[in-house]
Amino acid sequence: MIKIAPSILSADYAALGSAVELLRPWGADYVHLDVMDGAFVPNITFGAPMTKALRTHSDLVFDAHLMVAEPAKWVPAFKEAGADIVTIHVEADRHAHRTLALIRSLGMKAGVALNPQTPPSAVEYLLEGCDLVLVMTVNPGFGGQKFIPEAAKKLAVIREMLISKGLEDRVELEVDGGVNVETAKLCREYGANVLVAGNAVYSSPDPKEAIRLLRGE
Ligand code: DX5
Ligand code: ZN
pLDDT tens digits along 63-95: 999 999 999 999 999 999 999 999 999 999 999
Q: pLDDT for 90-117, tens place per residue?
A: 999 999 999 999 999 999 999 999 999 9
Task: Return the ligand 1 atom nearest residue 32 CA.
Answer: 8
Mean pLDDT over all residues of the chain?
Answer: 98
Give the count of beta carbons closer than 10 Å to the beta carbon of residue 119: 10
Residues within 5 A (CB) of ion ligand 2? 34, 65, 176
Task: Specify the pLDDT at position 191.
Answer: 98
Cα(11) to ligand 2 centroid in Å equals 13
Over residues 121-128, the mean pLDDT reads 98
Task: Please write the tens of the pLDDT for every residue from 148-203.
Answer: 999 999 999 999 999 999 999 999 999 999 999 999 999 999 999 999 999 999 99
Q: Round to whole Å and give the CA distance between 150 and 118.
A: 11
Cβ of 145 closer than 6 Å to ligand 1, yes or no, is yes
Q: Which atom of ligand 1 is nearest to the CA of 140?
A: 6
Query: Which of ligand 1's atoms lies nearest the C-alpha of 9?
Result: 9
Distance from C-alpha of 210 to C-alpha of 151, rounded to nearest angstrom: 23
What Å distances lie between residue 66 and 114, 202, 208, CA to CA? 12, 21, 27
Query: Among 145, 187, 204, which residue has the most ligand 1 atoms within 8 Å of its CB, making it the best to mutate?
Result: 145
Backbone angles phi, psi at 107, to 5 degrees: 85, 10
Q: Is 34 a catalytic residue?
A: yes
| Residue of the CA atom closest to atom 4 of ligand 1 | 143
Q: What's the pLDDT score for residue 107?
A: 98
Q: 10 CB less than 6 Å from ligand 1?
A: yes
Indicate whether residue 180 lines ligand 1 (CB < 6 A): no
Residue of 37, 63, 131, 176 marked catalytic: 176
Q: How far is CA 214 from CA 51, 146, 148, in A?
A: 25, 16, 17
DSSP 156: H
What's residue 52's pLDDT?
98
**pTM of the predicted model, to two decimals?**
0.98
Distance 199 CA to ligand 1 centre (A): 8
Active-site position among 29, 34, 63, 93:
34
